[in-house]
Structure 1
Amino acid sequence: METQTKILVLCGGKFAFPTLQLLAYEKFICGIGIGKASESIIDALEREAEDSNIGFKTFQDKKSISGMREWIDGIQPDYIFCISFPFLLPEKVLAYGEQKFINFHPAPLPQYRGSMPIFEVLKNQETETAICAHFMNSAFDEGNIIFNDPVTIEAGDTYGKLTVKLSNRMAQVAFNMANMLAFASSIPNQPQDELLAYYYEKPGLSDTYINWNRMTTEEIIALINACNPWNGGADASLHGEQVKIIMASLLDEPHDNQPGTIVSVNNRICIACRDDQQLAVEIISTDYGIMTAVQYSILHPEKTGVLN
């Protein structure tokens, strides 16, 4: 009887839950390591690990990584899968075994390196993303690629919708990878093309802020979707008040206003954009709370104004 392949999973939170559930059901998982997650997520995983007699350890900061190699040596997995694990693994850990560490990156590589590629593909108005399986080295997202598994981005996908879609797809991709490792003597892979490579830093305020004078309506909508819900919406200024626009659509009606001018406020907040179209804002977040355009119009009965 063949021995089941043992896989240890390093993860960063609930994004990996469907993968953990499927791999555990199929008897692949021998250990779970989690980094920098909430107490509720850590407690839930720890209870599941105890009930299933699976090794478990938390790595809440970079300093705690110093004990990872000894923990891995004690469990003796055949392979280590990483899914949104927040810390770079040092050479001491990677020396556990050549081509033993496989990362599952939620975007195509090498074009979308970085910690938040889901935000970037939506902001860039991509119609397709991917889950990239690649061997790990001592640099973020730079190891040899095993495959890029394509995932379609649907019109209207937000950061939240695409994250759930990728999380569910990740489970099947990781399961397929586990089966490949169980039956293949070697896994084909290739170096990343550095001419196509781009590393995105974690988004800051300048990345999430709407620039009415420079951005088209479609670019603004893409940014809003990319910020929902992780940033609570795209940042903007409305009547001198800092707000976050959570949901909006394109209103194909011409105007003769400067970009950023409020054309009307009724069941939607209609804002003039630079491409002679309007942004129809439906839900925003203000200091008063999250509200619809109708609720906002009650607080601000004026019909026009300028966004700064």
Structure 2
Amino acid sequence: MRVILFTNSHWSIPLMIRLEEQKLLAGIVLTDFDHEANITIKAFAEAKEVPLQRVSREELKSDSFTTWLEELSPELGICLTFPYKIPEQVFTVPQYGIVNLHFGAFPEYGGADPLFWVLKNGERTATLSYQQMNEKIDGGPELMREQLSIFPGENYGLLGARLSQLAASSIERLFEKVTTPKTDDTGQAPVNLYKRPTQQELTIDWQNQTSDQIEALVNAANPVYGGAITYFRGAMIWILEVSPANVSNSALLGPGSIVHADQQNGVFVLCSDYRYLRLNIIKTPECILTGGKLAALGLKSGEKLGLNAVSSKQPKILV
């Protein structure tokens, strides 16, 4: 099975390596974005002498790209984290079409970044869906799916890495599915197309979100969105990791209040459900640091996090 791989992310690397080891990788299609993952994939292709094309959104529609693809004679296309809509004249070139590997269950989690919403919504299971592509965004029939249990506290990056390994290990099962005659090609129910989160959706609402919801948001935003957003002393900061905590003898304070802070134990914050979270890793405009380090730099119990917690007497920077 000669495979052409469409990608834009390091999450495709385990699959790419497995296909190349089995001499099944006919070629790679990358976006024209310049980032670390694409540089790594390009270097791999050059070292292994795998044909590679970097394309813009418009170049993907060109006759020259279609001709290049036809000359490779792929039997199957696989799309993993490829952000451009693939035109019909492209996904009809491979004998068995192009299959999209999607990190979310259909029809609940369609759209550009399902993994963020799976984690933010507190799901206990992550799904890797294999969908035959057609002219509709996330609208083709589902061929198969694989699932993983989400570990407590697992973040976006770790879960994505495990799903990418699952994609590589299940490729033979996909080959069996695409070569089996289909008895039903009616597609699926209307898909819920989630968009990428806005700044507001990435911002912690201390007054209304529970400790579980805040932890889920923090995990969903790490690392791809730089963490969940909050405000402290007038500055935007990002929380990258939290953990549930027990606090005894805390003062009667409102949600978002820092109820304890010291260098040894770190920083503890009260949530709307009157449970507590320990802030393990925080990013400020100046640096990334632990909660204990932030306490050592002068953060005090009784201070508050959030947009409405700014005092004119407080300094406007953290470090």
Query: Structure 2 length as normaliser, TM-score?
Result: 0.87
- 1:246 aligned residue: 240
CA contact (8 A) 1:99 1:136 kept: no
Report the 3-state secondary structure (helix = DSSP H, G, I; strand = E; otherwise coil) of the residue aligned with 1:214: coil
Equivalent of 2:23 in 22, 27, 38? 27
Equivalent of 1:57 in 53, 57, 75? 53
CA contact (8 A) 1:249 1:279 kept: yes
- 1:217 aligned residue: 211
5+ long unaligned stretches in structure 1: none
Aligned positions of 1:117-136 closer than 5 A: 117-136=114-133
- 1:279 aligned residue: 277
Letter in 2 for 1:31: G
Query: How far apart in 2 are the matches of 1:269 and 1:188?
Result: 58
Report the 3-state secondary structure (helix = DSSP H, G, I; strand = E; otherwise coil) of the residue aligned with 2:292: helix
- 1:265 aligned residue: 261
CA contact (8 A) 2:77 2:94 kept: no
- 1:160 aligned residue: 157
Letter in 1 for 2:121: N
CA contact (8 A) 1:109 1:192 kept: no
Q: Given the alignment of the two structures, is residue 292 of structure 1 paired with residue 287 of structure 2, yes or no?
A: no
- 2:14 aligned residue: 18
Alpha-carbon distance, 1:290 to partner: 0.7
CA contact (8 A) 2:259 2:301 kept: yes
Query: How far apart in 2 are the matches of 1:198 and 1:168?
Result: 26
Aligned alpha-carbon RMSD (Å): 2.1
CA 120–85 in structure 1, closer or farther in 2 if over 3 Å, else same: same
Q: Given the alignment of the two structures, is residue 169 of structure 1 paired with residue 166 of structure 2, yes or no?
A: yes
Letter in 2 for 1:48: F
Instruction: Give CA-to-partner distance per residue, 1:30-62, whole Å, 9 cap, x none.
Output: 111111443554444344334444321011x21
Letter in 2 for 1:26: Q
Letter in 2 for 1:278: Y
**Residue range with higher mean Cα deviation, 249-258 or 117-126:** 249-258
CA 12–175 in structure 1, closer or farther in 2 if over 3 Å, else same: farther
CA contact (8 A) 2:139 2:188 kept: no
Query: How far apart in 2 are the matches of 1:226 and 1:82?
Result: 23
Q: Given the alignment of the two structures, is residue 304 of structure 1 paired with residue 316 of structure 2, yes or no?
A: no
Equivalent of 1:73 in 70, 74, 97? 70
CA contact (8 A) 2:150 2:159 kept: yes
CA 302–151 in structure 1, closer or farther in 2 if over 3 Å, else same: closer
CA 198–39 in structure 1, closer or farther in 2 if over 3 Å, else same: closer
CA contact (8 A) 1:111 1:198 kept: yes
Alpha-carbon distance, 1:176 to partner: 2.6
Alpha-carbon distance, 1:115 to partner: 1.5
CA 129–43 in structure 1, closer or farther in 2 if over 3 Å, else same: closer
Report the 3-state secondary structure (helix = DSSP H, G, I; strand = E; otherwise coil) of the residue aligned with 1:62: coil
- 1:82 aligned residue: 79
Instruction: Give CA-to-partner distance per residue, 1:276-296, whole Å, 9 cap, x none.
Output: 111211221113311111211
Equivalent of 1:9 in 5, 11, 30? 5
Report the 3-state secondary structure (helix = DSSP H, G, I; strand = E; otherwise coil) of the residue aligned with 1:305: coil
Query: How far apart in 1 are the matches of 2:247 and 2:288?
Result: 27
Query: How far apart in 2 are the matches of 1:54 and 1:97?
Result: 17
Alpha-carbon distance, 1:189 to partner: 5.8
CA contact (8 A) 1:145 1:191 kept: no
Query: How far apart in 2 are the matches of 1:188 and 1:132?
Result: 19
Alpha-carbon distance, 1:124 to partner: 0.6
Equivalent of 1:206 in 184, 200, 214? 200
Query: Structure 1 length as normaliser, TM-score?
Result: 0.90
Of all paired residues, the percent bearing the same amino acid is 24
Alpha-carbon distance, 1:253 to partner: 4.2
Alpha-carbon distance, 1:204 to partner: 1.5
Query: How far apart in 2 are the matches of 1:76 and 1:52?
Result: 19
- 2:316 aligned residue: none
Alpha-carbon distance, 1:143 to partner: 0.6
Instruction: Give CA-to-partner distance per residue, 1:187-207, whole Å, 9 cap, x none.
Output: 566545425x31110112111
CA contact (8 A) 2:74 2:94 kept: no
